[in-house]
Amino acid sequence: MTISTSHLLKEAADIVVRKQLDFKLDSSLPKYWFENNPIKTRLMDAVCATFPEGEKYFIVSVRHFREQIKSRKLLNDVADFIQQEAQHGIVHTQFNDFLRQQGLPIDKLEKNLKTKLENSGKTFSPEMNLAITAACEHITAMFAKCFFEQQATMQGVQDPRILAMLAWHSIEEFEHKAVAFDVMKTVAHVPYAMRVGAMLFLTADMLSEIFINAHSFLKADGFGPVQRAKFIGQGLVWGFSPKGVLAPMAKPWLNYFKPSFHPNQEGTVDQYPLWLEVYAETDDPILAGQAFHRAGKTAPSRKPLLRGLFQRLA
Ligand SMILES: [Fe+2]
Ligand SMILES: [Fe+2]
């Protein structure tokens, strides 16, 4: 199967609503599914666990401005965005059930996050909530690219069901990555300072939330304080060292601060069309996810984080 490269990168993808995809998520999923590594798995679980409540917040933030949208295309995009995010919420609720079965404090996490996001809705203006949503959409699309661009990054995820769930979510984040941003810019007219302020606020809030939740998951797993501290240190190195897994996100994160930034200036991954092709042929998101992962780049192309930052600032 060949990968068509004619319509990838730096062009808007079509937003396709796909419903009731079956990833066969059940209690037979492996506990430490990311390289059989407790901290890598629990950090990824901590990201995933926020999705059901997070997706609801994104939908509410964008829907607030729907009546003011004049463009027929943007109205359609918003409708598709809402449906895609709703499907992500459904599937990640199933994944949260799997985490709950392991004894992780998912109920507490969801309750706290729901309260926090409701307070955000009451405390901040609709424009600020939309700016937070647009920032989060950019981070989600960057995250998707970061984890699937290089085949090696997800090589340790042996279970094809979890791999496929994350691949599908990534595909759809690529497709709708500009929707909240376009509503923010062309309908809500959010000023630059609020847009970048929301990104700074969100980045700090999200990172602290992920590490705090991963720590509580490790505690529920029965690891003692010393082992948990060691794991958190390993997680910080895994994510943020110069050759860390998140190093490729430095440049696109900084790009958000350009006044002329638009999400479609950022590419997706070369194998995006392959997922579409395999899914169209097989109607099987698990096969599509496996093909998508296998088609990732095999040659290293990352710049170390600090070198990338210095080059941006030079
Ligand atoms: Fe999503
Ligand atoms: Fe999204």
Q: Write down the pLDDT at residue 282.
A: 97
SS3 80: helix
Band of residue 2 on the pLDDT scale cut at 50, 70, 90: very low
Average pLDDT (45-61) is: 98
Give 264: exposed, middle or buried? Use CB within 10 Å, 0-12, 13-18, 19+.
middle
Give residue limits of the domains in the chain: 38-313
Q: pLDDT of 233-285, one tens digit each? A: 999 999 999 999 999 999 999 999 999 999 999 989 999 999 999 999 999 99
Name residue 26's amino acid: D
Give 301: exposed, middle or buried? Use CB within 10 Å, 0-12, 13-18, 19+.
exposed
Q: Write down the pLDDT at residue 114.
A: 98
Task: Give distance in angstroms: CA of 31 to centre of ligand 2.
Answer: 26
Which residue(s) pair with 150 in the sheet? 297
Which residue(s) pair with 297 in the sheet? 150
Task: Give distance in angstroms: CA of 175 to centre of ligand 1.
Answer: 10
Task: Give distance in angstroms: CA of 57 to centre of ligand 1.
Answer: 11
SS3 29: coil
Band of residue 311 on the pLDDT scale cut at 50, 70, 90: low
d(C-alpha 276, C-alpha 257), whole Å: 32
Which ligand has its closest atom nearest to the C-alpha of 133?
A: 2
Q: pLDDT of 105-125, one tens digit each? A: 999 999 999 999 999 999 999
pLDDT for residue 3 is more than 60? no
CATH of 38-313, one of 1.20.1070, 1.10.3210, 1.10.620, 3.30.70: 1.10.620
SS3 157: strand
Band of residue 12 on the pLDDT scale cut at 50, 70, 90: confident
d(C-alpha 288, C-alpha 274), whole Å: 8
d(C-alpha 70, C-alpha 57), whole Å: 23
Average pLDDT (79-88) is: 98
Q: Write down the pLDDT at residue 312.
A: 53
Query: If you average pLDDT over every residue of the chain, what do you get?
Result: 93
The position carrying tokens 């095999």 is: 298
pLDDT for residue 20 is more than 80? yes
Which residue, among 160, 163, 154, 48, has the nearest Cα to 97 in the 3D structure? Answer: 48
Q: Write down the pLDDT at residue 308.
A: 53
The position carrying tokens 């995809």 is: 21
CB distance 65 to 130 below 8 Å: yes
Task: Give distance in angstroms: CA of 226 to centre of ligand 1.
Answer: 35
Task: Give distance in angstroms: CA of 177 to centre of ligand 2.
Answer: 6
Instruction: Give, for 8, the enclosing helix (H) or strand (E).
Output: none
Task: Give distance in angstroms: CA of 137 to centre of ligand 2.
Answer: 5
Which ligand has its closest atom nearest to the C-alpha of 137?
A: 2
Q: Write down the pLDDT at residue 13.
A: 83
Q: pLDDT of 178-234, one tens digit each? A: 999 999 999 999 999 999 999 999 999 999 999 999 999 999 999 999 999 999 999
d(C-alpha 296, C-alpha 291), whole Å: 9
Task: Give distance in angstroms: CA of 73 to centre of ligand 2.
Answer: 18
pTM over 0.85: yes
